[in-house]
């Protein structure tokens, strides 16, 4: 029996807690079960998409591991908002919002039922950060388990991901492919359950959970359909009980140094820009002071070494075959770019985990290069600041060759307006599409602009048109795209007063995002600016808009005390 102070005993032990025990008995618990640590297996589960449809099955195996380790497990759910299905519609406004709802629902269930620890099973984009936020917030023993990536699809010799369907729409609208070809791509793009196949947000966050030390080594990359996922599910349950016995809590693992490691892995893998928001939010919950400047500093010193889509050629399942995230981490560790001394959820340091890891003996240079021979000498994401983004903005340089762009501003007050303008062929080479009022408060919920960016790329304008927005990008986005512009338009950031024809400068090397309009003119425009009425006055989106903070703070929701 694990010898730990069990908070569950305050709820279920002793004579006066008989009513609570009566309910546990009615779900099949024996006296022995009631005396053991009570463990929640939190499954972010939903049938409304392929990403998390199998997590209840994984929970069964996690429970087996918890029982092996001496605990009494119960499965509880949390929600999933599917990013791909919600995209480009009202649904997308709920995506980032769902991250905080997930953290809140876990807090509610785990605390209300006095669980002693939990394993969180995630998949789709917001589930992993939501679960990690809850782990950091509650700070009771916890282990993260990823549901796993989908396998890629095939169309002729082309390896497909969901990104190809979005870009096929742009190609179809531009008359480059037929409706039949679009239909064939649609049918083949996502052939199994599991998350989007490339190094988009879901796979990025899974890699980050591993790099932070909150998930078992190697557990991020096996496909959802792999038998190794079952193995990791059982082992995650065992690992949770081990962490409980050792007294390891999430904040012992999620230290500043662990966040530095996670950012390094993010940059080396060319991961999703969304990870910046999520890491800032998880760090906030963990009480770790992380800022946008940390991302820029680490990006400038970290080579981009993993050729993963959308910036490279391969998908998560390919990475899995050559050694998964541990292979990337080993290369970074050997180059002195990771801190190997940090504690992980296994009870061992990161260095020890990598030393014990069994790497497959297969060629891997085509997917993961050595640090001495990188794809690019710097990281996949940069932070820009300037007169258009005084608090900061984010650009994914892994997915573009362009490092400097000056163009004519074409401002739109919503993603939909911009999408229709591209559809009508109104966007021309040399334009900078500015999409505003889509930030955390204005959207609300910072919707992703994949529909617009895919339409730009699909129309063959990826090298000639830039996009600047206070909204977000999908991890699948390619091209010269600047997001997370802060302060956002809804709170009177300079992006609110960009006018048609203004010149905009994006200068990655110097970290600048400037509105090339005299400072006095920007001030004059801002003085005359009036905030538009909120898009929502009732329900979740209205509540969220009233509590959410800037993208430069991870768009966390803070109570108004």
Contact 484, 394 (CB under 8 A): yes
Among 121, 196, 330, 450, binds ligand FES (CB under 6 A): 196
Q: Interface with ligand FES by CB under 6 A: which range of 68-76, 193-201, 315-323, 463-471?
A: 193-201
Contact 395, 482 (CB under 8 A): yes
User: Where in 47-66 is the site for ligand FES (CB under 6 A)?
Assistant: 49, 51
Q: Which CA distances in Å does 409 have to 277, 374, 428?
A: 26, 34, 11
Residue 83 vs 318, nearer CB to ligand FES:
83
CA 299, CA 264: separation in Å to the nearest integer? 7
**Annotation marks residue 236 as catalytic:** no
Residue 202 vs 381, nearer CB to ligand FES:
202
Q: Is 195 in the site for ligand FES (CB under 6 A)?
A: yes
Q: Interface with ligand FES by CB under 6 A: which range of 81-89, 211-219, 268-276, 309-317?
A: 81-89
Among 33, 83, 116, 260, binds ligand FES (CB under 6 A): 83
Was 125 annotated as part of a binding site?
Answer: yes
Q: Is 125 in the site for ligand FES (CB under 6 A)?
A: yes
Residue 82 vs 550, nearer CB to ligand FES:
82
Q: Interface with ligand FES by CB under 6 A: which range of 192-200, 301-309, 325-333, 369-377?
A: 192-200
Q: Is 92 in the site for ligand FES (CB under 6 A)?
A: no
Was 83 annotated as part of a binding site?
Answer: yes
Buried/exposed code over 84-101 (b: 16+ C-beta within 10 A; e: otherwise): bbbbbeeebbbbbbbbbb
- DSSP per-residue letters across 232-261: HHHHHHHHHHHHHHHT--HHHHS-HHHHHH
* Alpha helices (H) along 494-551: 519-528, 539-547
Q: Is 505 in the site for ligand FES (CB under 6 A)?
A: no
Question: One of 72, 221, 474, 550 is an active-site residue; which one?
Answer: 474
Residues in Cβ contact with 425 at an 8 Å cutoff, skipping those fewer than 6 apart: none
Q: Is 448 in the site for ligand FES (CB under 6 A)?
A: no
Q: Is 44 in the site for ligand FES (CB under 6 A)?
A: no
CB-based burial label for 420 (10 Å; 0-12, 13-18, 19+): middle
Residue 221 vs 255, nearer CB to ligand FES:
221
Q: Which CA distances in Å does 476 have to 135, 147, 184, 292, 370?
A: 27, 19, 20, 22, 24
CA 380, CA 378: separation in Å to the nearest integer? 7
Residue 185 vs 345, nearer CB to ligand FES:
185
Return the H-helix or E-strand segment holding 75: strand 72-78
Residues found near ligand FES in the complex (CB under 6 A): 49, 51, 82-84, 124-125, 195-196, 200, 202
Binding residues for Mg(2+): 83, 125-126, 448
**Which residues does the annotation mark as catalytic?**
474
């Amino acid at each position: 029996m694990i010898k730990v102070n069990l908070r569950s005993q305050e709820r279920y032990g002793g004579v006066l807690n008989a009513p609570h025990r009566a309910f546990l008995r009615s779900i099949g618990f024996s006296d022995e079960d009631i005396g053991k640590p009570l463990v929640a297996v939190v499954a972010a589960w939903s049938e409304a998409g392929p990403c998390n449809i199998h997590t209840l099955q994984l929970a069964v195996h996690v429970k087996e591991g918890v029982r092996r380790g001496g605990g009494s497990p119960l499965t509880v759910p949390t929600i999933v908002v599917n990013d791909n299905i919600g995209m480009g519609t009202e649904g997308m406004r709920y995506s980032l919002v769902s991250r905080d709802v997930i953290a809140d629902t876990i807090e509610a269930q785990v605390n209300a039922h006095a669980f002693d620890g939990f394993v969180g099973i995630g998949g789709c984009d917001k589930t992993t950060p939501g679960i990690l936020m809850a782990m950091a917030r509650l700070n009771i023993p916890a282990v993260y388990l990823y549901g796993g990536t989908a396998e890629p699809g095939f169309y002729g010799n082309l390896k497909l991901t969901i990104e190809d369907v979005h870009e096929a729409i742009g190609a179809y609208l531009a008359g480059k492919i037929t409706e039949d070809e679009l239909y064939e791509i649609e049918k083949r793009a996502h052939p199994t359950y599991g998350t989007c196949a490339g190094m988009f947000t879901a796979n990025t966050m899974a890699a980050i959970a591993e790099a932070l030390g909150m998930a078992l080594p190697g557990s991020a990359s096996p496909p959802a359909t792999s038998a190794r996922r079952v193995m990791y599910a059982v082992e995650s349950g065992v690992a949770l009980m081990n962490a409980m016995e050792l007294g390891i809590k999430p904040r012992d693992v999620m230290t500043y140094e662990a966040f530095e490691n996670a950012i390094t892995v993010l940059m080396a893998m060319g991961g999703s820009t969304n990870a910046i928001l999520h890491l800032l939010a998880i760090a906030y919950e963990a009480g770790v002071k992380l800022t946008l400047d940390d991302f820029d500093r680490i990006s400038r010193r970290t080579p981009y070494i993993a050729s993963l889509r959308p910036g490279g050629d391969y998908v998560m399942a390919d990475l899995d075959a050559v050694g998964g995230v541990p292979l990337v981490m080993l290369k970074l560790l050997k180059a002195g770019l990771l801190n190997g001394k940090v504690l992980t959820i296994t009870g061992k340091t990161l260095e020890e985990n990598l030393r014990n890891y069994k790497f497959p003996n297969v060629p891997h240079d085509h997917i993961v290069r050595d640090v001495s021979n990188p794809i690019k000498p710097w990281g996949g994401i940069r932070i820009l600041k300037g007169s258009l983004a005084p608090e900061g903005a984010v650009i994914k340089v892994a997915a573009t060759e362009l490092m400097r762009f000056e163009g004519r501003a074409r401002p739109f007050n919503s993603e939909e307006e911009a999408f229709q303008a591209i559809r009508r062929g109104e966007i021309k080479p040399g334009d900078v599409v500015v999409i505003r009022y889509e930030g955390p408060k204005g959207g609300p919920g910072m919707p992703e602009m994949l529909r617009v960016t895919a339409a730009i790329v699909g129309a063959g304008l990826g090298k000639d048109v830039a996009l600047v927005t206070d909204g977000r990008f999908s991890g699948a986005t390619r091209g010269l795209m600047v997001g997370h512009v802060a302060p956002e338009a809804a709170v009177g950031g300079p992006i609110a007063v960009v006018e048609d024809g203004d010149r905009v400068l994006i200068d990655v090397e110097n970290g600048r995002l400037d509105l090339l309009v005299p400072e006095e003119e920007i001030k004059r425009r801002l003085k005359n600016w009036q905030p538009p009425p909120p898009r929502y006055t009732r329900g979740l989106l209205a509540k969220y808009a009233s509590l959410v903070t800037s993208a430069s703070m991870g768009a966390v929701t803070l109570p108004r005390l």
